[in-house]
Amino acid sequence: MKKKISFIYFDLGGVVIDNEQTKRGLAREFHLDAEAIQTFFDENWRESCLGNLDNKAYLRDFKATFRIEHPKDDFVDFITEYQGHYQETHDLIHELTGGYRLGILSNAELGTIDALLRKGKIPDVGWDVIIESAQVRAVKPDRKIYDIARTKARVNPDEILFIDDRQPNIDAALSLGWHAELFDYFDLKRSVRNIRNRLQKKK
């Protein structure tokens, strides 16, 4: 018999953090093309989120590519200044605190989650588990990061609900017996409602 959901993992970008606002903020601040910024991030995300690209070198490359100047010298400290968040998701996380154990499972550069917590862009709810890809040297949708996350959660796969905005990451979780919910940040209210409905059914 399947057990009820007891642990919920949240992705960050596209679920808690508004990546589109980040991109628009950078474009506006430095008079850049938003899609060119996205292309730069797409080309570097895997190595940076595996911890293979030093944060200082990453920011130097960003500055050189777009010919900009900025006093900060660390990519994480720099980029988190521009990152926004989805209030609907923040409200949901606060609502779920106490009723479920909560975790973060994110492809992120080393130190990103600490910086976002410090700057108030992730709810500071005493997360039970935080999995930052650069720290564990594995990225979604690679199986290794899910195995680490399940081990740290200390529950059976069918007790985990994973929320992410990318289908390959969702498919990887489902293949391991997790519950998973695809988050659509273009329709925040429906996405949050779907999560609530799923949890009601799994009580």
**184-195 pLDDT, tens digit each:** 999 999 999 999
On the question of pLDDT at 116 being above 90, the answer is yes
Which pLDDT band holds residue 201 (cuts at 50, 70, 90)?
A: confident
* CB contact burial 23-38 (16+ within 10 A = b; e otherwise): bebbbeeeebeeeebb
Express each pLDDT in 62-114 by its tens digit: 999 999 999 999 999 999 999 999 999 999 999 999 999 999 999 999 999 99
Q: CA torsion sign, 162 to 19 to 81 to 55? A: positive
